[in-house]
Structure 1
Amino acid sequence: MTSKKARRPISELPGDPAHLRFVYSHAHPAEPYEFEDTLEAWGVSVLAPPSDEEDEDYDPNSAPRVGRVSLYRLRDFAEDDRWDAADSWSGDLEVIAAAVLGGYGRRQGYAKAFENRITQPVGDLLILDRVHLDREWRGFGLGPIIAAEAIRRLSPGCCAVAAYPAMSEYPQNREEVTDTYRKRAKKKIAALWESIGFERFRNGVWLLDTALQEPIDLHRARRADLLALSHAYRGASREA
C-alpha cells in the first residue's frame, strides 16, 4: 500500500511520521562577532518518533536524529552589510542576497524587484537552505511537510522566505552528475518548494510571501498529507 504522496510502500516507513519531533537550535556568544548579529544560523533537528513503549518517557536528548533543516535569518536594519554577511557564509546565500538586496552597503534596502513582488517588503528575510532526511525516511513526501513546519515556527517577523534550489547530496559515482542530472535534481527540489508556497523570483531564487493566504493554505494541506500518511502507516501496521 502507498499514499498519494509516497513513492515507496507505506510498510517501509520506519515509524509513525505524525510522531516525529522537532528541536530548534540557535547559539551565539554574548558579544556577537563576524556578522552574527546580522545573519542568524538556525538548525532544526528531526527526531525519530518514540515507540509505543517509550511514548510517555520520550527523551528528545537521547532520541536518534533522522533529519535536519538548516535556515538563516537575515536581519533588516542590521549594523553590518547584509550582502557581506550572506557572502561570508556560503555561495548559495550570496546568490540569494544578490537577488533580493538593492546592493552593497549597510544602508541598502531590498531591491525594487523584491519590493514589487512581496506584499509587505519590510522586516527580516528567512532563508531555507537545506532539508535533509535519512534514506530510510525518504520517498514518502515528508520533505515539504518538514520544511513547512520549520517555516511556520521561524518566519514570524519575516516579510519573506527565500530559497535557492541546489543539490545537497551527490551519488557515489560523481561521473553521473551531468548538467542534465543537475537540472533534473533542481527541478525536483523546486517542485517541492512550490508545494509549500514558494514562487520563482529571479537568478534561480524562489520566494515565499509570508503575508499571503496561499502559503497558509498549503501548509494546512501538507499537514493533511502528514495525517493521511500517518493513517496509512497505522493501517499497514495493523494488517502486518
Structure 2
Amino acid sequence: MTSTETGAGPGVRTMPAPLNMMRLTYTHHEDWYSTPDDGPSFWNVTADIYDHEGRGALEHVGDFQFVRIDPFRTRDMCGVLDGHDGDLGMMAETLLDPSTGHFRDDLDEFTEPIYSSMLILTHARLEKPWQGFGLGALLTARAIDRLSPDCRGTACFPAPINGGPSDPDDQETRPLAIATLAKVWEKIGFRHYRDGVFVVDLGSVTLGEAITALTDSVSKLPQTNEDDYLDAIDAR
C-alpha cells in the first residue's frame, strides 16, 4: 500500500533541485451535503519543485495519501472503509475491534488514547530522481505532522498489498522489500503493531524529533544551484 525510497546508493549524489524550491500542497474534498459523520476524510499531499517567481510547479517530486478515521463518529467504519478500498478494509479490521467497532484495547500500548481520530497512510511515492536522499521519510513525517491535530496516531502497511497475484520474482523479493520499507518508516517512529500494520504515536515527541534529525541530515546533502536548475529547465 505504501512505498518510498529504500536508501542511498554508493557515493554522494546531488539533489536535482534546491530544497528551498520544494512545496507541499494539501488537498481535501467533500460533497456539498457532507458532514463529519458521513465517513472518513481523504487527503492528498503533493511535493513539487515550485518557482515562486511566477512559473508555478516545475517538477513533480512525490505523492502522499492519507485517510483520517474516527470510529466514534462513523458507524461501521470497517464496512465504510472496505467499500472505498479493500486494502483500507484490511487496515480497519486490524485497528478496530469487530465486536465494538472501536479501536482495539491493545492499541493503547502503541498510541495514547487522548483523541478519537487516527490517520492511515495509504500511499507514499517519490519520483525516481528524488529517491535515495531520505526525503521519503522526511516528507511523510512533515505531512503527518501537518495533518495530525486531534489524532492519536498514524498507521501504515509498509508494502503494496493490492496488486493481486504477482510473478515469482516479486514473491521472492517481497519479504526483503517489506523489511527495507519497514526500516524507512521506523526512522519516523513507526512500530509494528500487528498483522504487518505499523503505527506511530502522535502523543509523544518521537515524530518531532525525527523531523528535526531528518531535516538536518537532508539539508547537509549537495543540492543543485537554483540558477543552474532554472537554466536547465529553460533549456528543455
Report whether the alignment pairs 1:24 with 2:26.
Answer: yes
2:109 aligned to which of 106, 109, 116: 116
Q: Deviations over 1:176-209 (max 9, x none)?
A: 312x311111111111110001011001110101
Bigger drift between 8-17 and 180-189 goes to 8-17
1:99-110 to structure 2, matched below 5 A, reads: 99-103=94-98, 108-110=101-103
Preserved CA contact (<8 Å) 1:200 1:207: yes
For structure 2, list consecutive stretches of 5 or more residues without a partner in the other structure.
Answer: 1-6, 229-236
Preserved CA contact (<8 Å) 1:18 1:227: no
Preserved CA contact (<8 Å) 1:148 1:196: yes
Which residue number in structure 2 is paired with residue 233 of structure 1? 223
1:68 aligned to which of 63, 71, 84: 63
Bigger drift between 126-135 and 13-22 goes to 13-22
Preserved CA contact (<8 Å) 1:167 1:185: no
2:176 aligned to which of 184, 189, 192: 184
Q: How does the TM-score come out when normalised to structure 2?
A: 0.81
Preserved CA contact (<8 Å) 1:7 1:140: no
For structure 1, list consecutive stretches of 5 or more residues without a partner in the other structure.
Answer: none
- Cα separation, partners in 2 of 1:13 and 1:36, compared to 1, 3 Å: farther
How many residues are treated as equivalent by the alignment? 219
* Whole-angstrom CA distance in 2 between matches of 1:175 and 1:123: 42
Q: Deviations over 1:200-227 (max 9, x none)?
A: 1001110101011222211211121222
Bigger drift between 191-200 and 88-97 goes to 88-97
When the two chains are superposed, the root-mean-square deviation of aligned CA atoms in Å is 2.8
Preserved CA contact (<8 Å) 1:165 1:205: yes
Report whether the alignment pairs 1:161 with 2:154.
Answer: yes
- Cα separation, partners in 2 of 1:132 and 1:162, compared to 1, 3 Å: same
Report whether the alignment pairs 1:40 with 2:35.
Answer: no
Q: Deviations over 1:29-68 (max 9, x none)?
A: 11239x9832111100111243xxxx43352xx4432210
DSSP-derived class of the 2:17 partner: coil
Q: Deviations over 1:75-129 (max 9, x none)?
A: 242233111122112232222211211116xx63211111233222532110111
Bigger drift between 112-121 and 64-73 goes to 112-121
Q: How does the TM-score come out when normalised to structure 1?
A: 0.80
- Cα separation, partners in 2 of 1:36 and 1:72, compared to 1, 3 Å: farther
2:123 aligned to which of 107, 113, 130: 130
* Whole-angstrom CA distance in 1 between matches of 2:173 and 2:213: 30
Identify which of structures 1 and 2 has the higher relative contact order when contacts are C-alpha pairs closer than 8 Å and 6+ apart.
2
Which residue number in structure 2 is paired with residue 56 of structure 1? 53
Report whether the alignment pairs 1:199 with 2:200.
Answer: no
* Whole-angstrom CA distance in 1 between matches of 2:161 and 2:11: 25
Which residue number in structure 1 is paired with residue 202 of structure 2? 210
Identity of aligned residues (%): 25
DSSP-derived class of the 1:31 partner: coil
* Whole-angstrom CA distance in 2 between matches of 1:168 and 1:49: 33
